[in-house]
Amino acid sequence: MGDLAGPPVISTAGLTKHYGTVHALTDLTVEVGAGVTGLVGANGAGKSTLIKILLGLLEPTSGRASVLGHDIEHDSHDIRRLVGYMPEHDCLPPDTSASDFVVHMARMSGLGASAARERAADVLRHVGLEEERYRPMGGYSTGMKQRAKLAQALVHDPRLVFLDEPTNGLDPAARTDMLRLVQRIGTDFGIAVLVTSHLLGELERVSDHVIVLDGGHLLRSSATGDFLRRTGRMLVEVVGTETERDRLGQALAQRGLTCRPRGTMVAIDPPASDVAVHDLVRDLAAELGLGLMRLEPDRGHLEDVFMEGAPRA
Ligand SMILES: Nc1ncnc2c1ncn2[C@@H]1O[C@H](COP(=O)(O)OP(=O)(O)OP(=O)(O)O)[C@@H](O)[C@H]1O
């Protein structure tokens, strides 16, 4: 999926962009494969700059890049035909309906009038804009605007889409819906996706691969599973309240294990000696009359890469 079977979808070599004295991107060499790739980094890390260079909207100061086998310097016309772009900032004409806007974008991509209408209706349905698509976009909620921006990025049936901060400004429920949609673009429609977020952990569930930028430098580029490596700790949850949680925690501590409460669960450090933690937890829960709800490895998270100050790739 995100790992590089076949030619890379995006490839950069020594890509650098300076805005006067601001070094927005420094010597970026990275490859992006099929599937969903998360591009994460704090505000100002260089994510939008990279996307704009790949689209041919900005010229790099130095370095090279190709998108779907096309060189950004010479083939930006081909690239824009094959790539969809959902920009970060609001760019929607307020007096136009999403339906008219997306039909217009479809016509601009070369579709005839009836094909454009059909395709626009399909794509608006896929992104979840129903009757509201006939209303002027100026009155839309942020979530509806994000969906309209996404629809215009997909309407010409691209092979790759750049989604710049698609969850920006959304409440948690709308954020989850948008992330599901992003994942479906990759899996159901088979379109390669490069999606950005300044919320470091947000994309770990929907991305096959994650690229982390920090101040214009590549911090890390790995399959998502490699970020979420095992920590060696176990998490256990029992039926009941904090009282039951703490009874189990105390019993584990009496057996020499180091553990601490984490929310409704107990986190158990890797045992110093060769103790079978699974068996011990099961036996103790039975002994104490506690119902086991969950016993699983505690995986790391994307944020940990920043906390650990991982070496630059
Ligand atoms: N046109 C510009 N002129 C000068 N500096 C710029 C320009 N555009 C971006 N920058 C600077 O370049 C750096 C990278 O910006 P960029 O927008 O690429 O980051 P980002 O990771 O997309 O962050 P954000 O999500 O806040 O847009 C920042 O320091 C930003 O202030």
Ligand 1 atom closest to the CA of 49, numbered from 1: 18
pLDDT at 121: 95
Compute the average pLDDT of residues 20-26: 95
Q: Are 162 and 85 spatial neighbours (Cβ–Cβ below 8 Å)?
A: yes
Question: Which of 17, 40, 48, 211 has the most ligand 1 atoms within 8 A of CB, as the residue to mutate?
Answer: 48
Of 26-35, 55-64, 224-233, 292-301, the poorest mean pLDDT is in: 224-233
As for ligand 1, residues whose beta carbon falls within 6 Å of it are 19, 22, 24, 41, 43-49, 88, 165, 198
Greater model confidence, 128 or 231? 128
Q: Are 153 and 84 spatial neighbours (Cβ–Cβ below 8 Å)?
A: yes
pLDDT at 5: 57
Compute the average pLDDT of residues 81-104: 93
Percentage of the chain lying above the pLDDT 90 cut: 68
Question: If you take atom 1 of ligand 1, which residue's CA is the nearest one?
Answer: 19
Question: Which of 19, 167, 217 has the most ligand 1 atoms within 8 A of CB, as the residue to mutate?
Answer: 19
Question: pLDDT digits over 258-290, tens only?
Answer: 999 988 999 998 887 777 888 899 999 999 999
- Whole-angstrom Cα distance, residue 121 to residue 126? 9
- Using alpha carbons, select from 191, 195, 224 the residue that is nearest to residue 34: 191
Question: If you take atom 25 of ligand 1, which residue's CA is the nearest one?
Answer: 43
pLDDT at 231: 67
Ligand 1 atom closest to the CA of 52, numbered from 1: 18
Asked whether the domain spanning 230-300 has the same topology as the one spanning 10-227, the reply is: no
pLDDT at 313: 42
Domain ranges, ordered by start, for the chain: 10-227, 230-300
pLDDT at 24 over 90: yes
Compute the average pLDDT of residues 7-19: 95
CATH number assigned to the domain covering 230-300 = 3.30.70
Query: In the structure, what pLDDT confidence band is assigned to residue 302 with cuts at 50, 70 and 90?
Result: low
Ligand 1 atom closest to the CA of 42, numbered from 1: 21
Question: pLDDT digits over 166-223, tens only?
Answer: 999 898 889 999 999 999 998 888 899 999 998 877 888 899 999 999 999 998 898 8
| C-alpha of residue 219 to centroid of ligand 1, in Å | 17
State the ipTM, two decimals. Answer: 0.96
- Whole-angstrom Cα distance, residue 151 to residue 121? 10
| C-alpha of residue 44 to centroid of ligand 1, in Å | 5
Q: What is the largest CA-CA distance in the chain?
A: 75
- Whole-angstrom Cα distance, residue 154 to residue 121? 12
pLDDT at 109: 87
- 194: phi then psi, degrees, rounded to nearest 5: -115, 115
| C-alpha of residue 243 to centroid of ligand 1, in Å | 50
CATH number assigned to the domain covering 10-227 = 3.40.50.300
